[in-house]
């Protein structure tokens, strides 16, 4: 069953067509990889699916509901979390405060309460433990290393218990130990039922982790299937090698 779906999405920035009738389907419970040469529209596709950019044409649907051009806060509340290629954490807030920004509360009453309830605090610590940042909870987030920032961003997206998480280059600029660690965490979450869609240039990472790979080029998806099949697809080789 498809959980997240974009249908014939078009998005142009002035004369540059970033998405040219792009369609993608993310199956529930899958680990889907999204690859393609630089400038093929992967990040733009992420942006239109999470409400950061408005589409010019086409539709985005989540769990059967139309969410085309919904505001980012609404998309997040529905259960779609995302991380950014260049991590976006809150640099002047502590690691723990970063975690609490994403903790959702219902109604106005929640806003009047202290930012950390004991239940939320326990949950935040649990997730920091999960990504191995527990001991840094009181450190301003800007003092973290690049890899730690990626883990923090990953952890605070988890606070809201999203059904699907979009990762934009989770392994980019991160050392091999961290990549193995991240792979493990993603697998563990996937077993709990979380769906993943990830953009990544590290082929080893994608081919080893994903059960399905979608390839984009020039704003459209050109191939879609199991990692092995996609790897040997002549259209994919052409897109990458320009043969």
Q: Is 240 in the site for another protein (CB under 8 A)?
A: no
| The one among 28, 54, 57, 135 contacting another protein by CB under 8 A | 135
Residue 171 and residue 202: Cα distance in Å, rounded? 7
CB of 50 to another protein, least distance (A): 7
Q: Of 166 and 220, which has the nearer Cβ to another protein?
A: 166
DSSP 52: S
Count residues near another protein (CB under 8 A): 55
Q: Of 5 and 83, which has the nearer Cβ to another protein?
A: 83
Residue 215 and residue 200: Cα distance in Å, rounded? 11
CB of 228 to another protein, least distance (A): 30
Identify whether the C-beta of residue 217 lies closer than 8 Å to the C-beta of residue 26. no
Phi and psi for 234 in degrees, rounded to 5? -60, -30
Q: Of 37 and 132, which has the nearer Cβ to another protein?
A: 132
Q: Is 209 in the site for another protein (CB under 8 A)?
A: no
Q: Of 144 and 213, which has the nearer Cβ to another protein?
A: 144
Strands 195-199 and 212-217: unpaired
Q: Where do we find the tokens 């996937």? A: 190
b/e sequence 217-239, b meaning 16+ C-beta within 10 Å = bbbbbbbbeebeebbebeebeeb
Residue 18 and residue 22: Cα distance in Å, rounded? 10
Q: In angstroms, how far apart are the furthest CA atoms of the chain?
A: 61
CB of 233 to another protein, least distance (A): 33
Determine the interface stretch with another protein among 31-39, 69-77, 207-215, 219-227 (rule: CB under 8 A).
69-77
CB of 20 to another protein, least distance (A): 25
Nearest by Cα to 206 from 237, 170, 233, 238: 170
Identify whether the C-beta of residue 177 lies closer than 8 Å to the C-beta of residue 147. no
Q: Is 187 in the site for another protein (CB under 8 A)?
A: no
Task: Give me 85's structure tokens.
Answer: 């290629």
CB of 150 to another protein, least distance (A): 9
Taking the CB of residue 163, how many other CB atoms lie within 10 A of it? 17
CB of 72 to another protein, least distance (A): 4
CB of 116 to another protein, least distance (A): 8
Determine the interface stretch with another protein among 9-17, 61-69, 87-95, 232-240 (rule: CB under 8 A).
87-95
Binding site for another protein (CB under 8 A): 50-52, 71-73, 75-77, 82, 84, 88-94, 97, 100-105, 110-115, 131-133, 135-140, 142-148, 151, 156-157, 160, 175, 177-178, 181
């Amino acid at each position: 069953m498809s959980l997240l779906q974009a249908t014939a999405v078009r998005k142009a920035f002035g004369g540059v067509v970033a998405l040219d009738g792009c369609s993608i389907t993310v199956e529930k419970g899958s680990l889907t990889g999204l690859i393609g040469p630089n400038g093929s529209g992967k990040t733009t596709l992420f942006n239109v699916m999470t409400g950061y950019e408005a589409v010019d044409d086409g539709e985005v649907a989540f769990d059967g509901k139309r969410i085309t051009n919904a505001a980012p806060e609404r998309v997040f509340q529905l259960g779609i979390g995302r991380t950014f290629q260049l991590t976006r954490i809150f640099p002047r807030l502590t690691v723990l405060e970063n975690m609490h920004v994403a903790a959702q509360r219902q109604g106005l009453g929640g806003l009047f309460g202290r930012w950390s309830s004991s239940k939320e605090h326990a949950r935040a610590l649990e997730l920091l433990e999960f990504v191995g940042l527990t001991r840094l909870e009181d450190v301003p987030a800007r003092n973290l290393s690049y890899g730690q920032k990626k883990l923090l961003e990953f952890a605070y997206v988890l606070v809201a218990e999203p059904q699907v998480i979009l990762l934009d280059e989770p392994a980019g600029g991160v050392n091999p130990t961290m990549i193995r660690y991240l792979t493990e965490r993603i697998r563990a979450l996937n077993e709990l039922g979380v769906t993943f869609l990830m953009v990544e240039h590290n082929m080893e990472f994608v081919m080893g982790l994903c059960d399905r790979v979608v390839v984009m080029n020039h704003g459209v998806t050109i191939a879609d299937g199991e990692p092995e099949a996609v790897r040997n697809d002549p259209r994919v080789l052409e897109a990458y090698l320009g043969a």
